[in-house]
């Protein structure tokens, strides 16, 4: 099974929050973990925000950043190109999504179109989850 994680789910692998255990189990069962290139700056921004808010020590920041960097190279990362941007714009309008969510949805759609196995989509946003289900 290929597992697509948007940033809201991917960050749960590094920051303990509701749903972290579920995501960790899904990742264990997946043969491929995929995400959009957009996830990289979103995850790094989430780490930085946690540090600014002092819910993460400098040492914890270094640790989660190192783990993320190590995991990132093993993920299947879908690039963000002009065609994907245009598709994301159309999906944003069609499903009333925020821009970043639409990029993740367009990336998932592209992955489904090319995958040889079952592709699951996981995110924390209900509207985005519903839109992903409608694409299948």
pLDDT at 96: 96
Predicted confidence at residue 103, as pLDDT, reads 98
Domain limits of the chain? 2-135
Q: Which residue has the tokens 């190192």?
A: 66
- Give the per-residue pLDDT at 136: 74
The structure tokens listed for 54 are 């002092």
Domain 2-135: CATH superfamily is 5'-nuclease (3.40.50.1010)
pLDDT at 117: 86
Largest CA distance in the chain: 43
What pTM was estimated for this model as a whole? Answer: 0.95
> Residue 76 has what pLDDT?
97
Q: What is the pLDDT of residues 84-114, one digit of tens each?
A: 999 999 999 999 999 999 999 999 999 999 9
pLDDT of residue 78: 98
By the 10 Å C-beta count (0-12 exposed, 13-18 middle, 19+ buried), 65 is classed as middle
Phi, psi of 7 (to 5 degrees): -65, -35
So what's the pLDDT on residue 116? 85
Q: Which residues of the chain have pLDDT under 50?
A: none
């Amino acid at each position: 099974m290929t597992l697509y994680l948007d940033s809201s789910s991917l960050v749960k692998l590094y920051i303990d929050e509701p749903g972290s255990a579920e995501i960790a189990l899904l990742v264990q069962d997946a043969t491929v973990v995929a995400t959009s290139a957009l996830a990289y700056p979103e995850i790094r921004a989430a780490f930085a925000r946690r540090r600014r808010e002092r819910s993460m020590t400098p040492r914890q920041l270094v640790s989660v950043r190192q783990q993320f960097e190590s995991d990132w190279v093993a993920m299947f990362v879908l690039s963000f190109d002009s065609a994907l941007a245009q598709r994301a714009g159309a999906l944003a309008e069609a499903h009333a999504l925020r821009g970043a969510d639409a990029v993740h949805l367009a990336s998932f759609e592209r992955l489904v179109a090319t995958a040889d196995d079952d592709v699951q989509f996981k995110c924390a946003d209900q509207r985005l989850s519903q839109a992903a289900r409608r694409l299948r």
